[in-house]
Amino acid sequence: MYNYAEAIFTYTDEVNIMGTKKTTVFIDGGAGTTGLRIHERLATRDDIELLTISEEQRKDPSARLEMLIRSDVTFLCLPDDAAKEAVIAAGNADTVIIDTSTAHRTVESWTYGFPDLSGEFEAMVRESKRISVPGCHASGFIALIYPLIKSGILDTAASLSCFSVTGYSGGGKKMIAEYENPDRDTLLSTPRQYGLTQQHKHLREMKYITGLDSFPIFCPVVAAFYSGMHVTVPLHSSMLKSGCTVGDIKKIYKSAYGGPVVTYSDDPAQNGFIAAGTLSGKDSMIISVLGNDERIILSAVYDNLGKGASGTAIECLNLVSGNAIDKGLEL
């Protein structure tokens, strides 16, 4: 009987044209939006050997586990419960597991996979076997707030609000189908706020990683465009450490985000507007400071599927496999 898994595994020692052993990668949940984007970014790389299984085997936990164990790196692009089950089944497997779900983002034994935040975060990712990738909305909020708290310009007791506009692809296949249905409800053509009970699943990591004493008030909005995201956090100058100004915030961001993936821009607007879809299809993020000396708006623009999910996952892969952080990314 033909063993599909064995046929795949015979290629795990394949080398690239330079004679270097390829990194074997398995995407568990590769049919979803995040998994598909990761596959798209990795498919043309000569340093990566993608392990795949048949449609039938995707529903077989033992087949998926065998792939995980035999790979160098496995991406979990699964619902939370399924990701937890996969990790439990993997036990102490030497495979690097990069989880894109919410399941392990605030688990102390896991590394939070946002290497752009600081040299410390990058170093932790390089050495980790269990990495949890940030949520899309959380990525912007944390990128904006973490360096301000770390520098001491913003106190952990600050009561913050966060607004985020996202493309509908973040809602997965079901939401994509709803928005792309030619007979869709006309209300889907207008922006829709959700997370109305202030229980959005990204709130825990937003508080945990930044070190805030309390959860921010979070207002996510989904709109009728495929991908892109604009996260803003308003501040009043009185919320800053005494004597600090908007100019100090800009200096902190310029120092923290020198690229290649996350960069600072003094002028992100086009004709007085900032479009949430500016970086659609890209894996980068633009950080900016808007407003004036008294009323300040912190701004992060990126793609909810790119820097908000798959792009950061690939950054983590790059680091654990000894590559440049931006290898294979669309910036």
Task: Give the chain's radius of gyration (CA, Å).
Answer: 20
Known catalytic residues are 136
Give the whole-angstrom CA distance, residue 90 versus residue 64: 10
Compute CA distances 229 → 3, 11, 81, 135, 168, whole Å: 43, 38, 26, 12, 10
Phi and psi based region of residue 80 (left: phi greater than 0; alpha: psi -120 to 50; beta: remaining): alpha
Helix residue spans in the chain (DSSP H):
4-9, 33-42, 61-70, 80-90, 119-127, 136-151, 172-180, 203-210, 246-256, 311-320
Q: Which of 212, 238, 197 is CA-nearest to residue 159?
A: 212
Per the document, the length of the chain is 331
**DSSP of 118-186:** -HHHHHHHHH-SEEEPPPHHHHHHHHHHHHHHHHTSB-TT---EEEEEEEGGGGHHHHHHHHH-TT--G
